[in-house]
Amino acid sequence: IEDPARSLLGRAQESWLFGELAESKRAGVTWQVLGQQVMFAHTAPAGAPATNTDTWDGYRPARDRVLDFLQQQDIRNAVILTGDIHSSWAFDVPRDPWRGYDARSGRGAVAVEFATPAVSSPSSMGAPDQAIETMRQRMNELPHLRWVEGLHRGYMVLDVRADRIQNDWYFVPTVSERSAQETFAKGFVS
């Protein structure tokens, strides 16, 4: 996991990503939005081994290279969109959530990450009582985790404007029958 040669993207794709980010900065693009499929933020508690190596926690040096690049290029408006986790998450993404990051102000964050739940797949957190305990535990262990919800299915809407990005989560009451019902769950502005 700590081997610098490991890469989630591969050398060519990582190089392409850095080139596109640098070009967007040169072009004066306000927001750098990265869509990808696995959790980017640190999800293992401080000092603990990765609990899910099928995320960027399993490729820590590669994640560090992305964060280092964002900092070196002074890219301050990076937003990471994540799927495939079957639950809802909102993170600040600092280089190290336990050193040099202030959870109250968000100072030290390099990016933000929003993860969308699934509409039709069950929660990745298990049964409701297990999910509630997992959410409570994650909120206590991860200072950069702003919100997590693993009981409901739904989707998120990203509203991009020149001066801000707002991400809103909506939950649906059931996936077993057709319905136009939905409930606003949470929103974050960056």
User: How far are the Cα atoms of 10, 83, 184 from residue 171, in angstroms, in the given order?
Assistant: 35, 15, 7
The stretch 145-160 carries a mean pLDDT of: 95
- Confidence at 123, pLDDT banded by 50, 70, 90: confident
pLDDT (mean) for 72-79 = 96
> pLDDT digits over 26-55, tens only?
999 999 999 999 999 999 988 888 888 889
Q: Are strands 32-36 and 78-82 parallel, antiparallel or unpaired?
A: parallel
Nearest to 156 by CA among 81, 92, 84, 79: 81
**Which long-range contacts does 27-30 make (Cβ < 8 Å, 24+ apart)?**
30/77, 30/162
Place 179 in a pLDDT band, splitting at 50, 70 and 90.
confident
Cα torsion 101, 84, 38, 70 to 10°: value is -60
Average pLDDT over the chain, rounded to an integer: 93
Q: Write down the pLDDT at residue 184.
A: 98
Owner of token pair 């280092």: 68
% of the chain at pLDDT higher than 70: 100
> Alpha-carbon distance 109 to 3, whole Å?
24
Q: Quick check: pTM over 0.85?
A: yes
Which residues are CB-neighbours of 86 under 8 A, at least 6 positions away?
117, 118, 121, 122, 123, 124, 125, 150
Collapsing DSSP states into helix, strand and coil, what is residue 68? helix
Tell whether the model's pLDDT for residue 124 goes beyond 90: no
> Average pLDDT, stretch 107-136?
88
Buried b (16+ CB within 10 A) or exposed e, 5-31: eeebbeeeebeebbeebeebbeeeeeb
The tens digit of pLDDT for each residue in 156-167 reads 999 999 999 999
Is residue 88 within 8 A of residue 149, CB to CB? The reply is: yes
**Length of the chain in residues, anyone?**
190
- Nearest-angstrom CA–CA distance, 86 and 122: 7
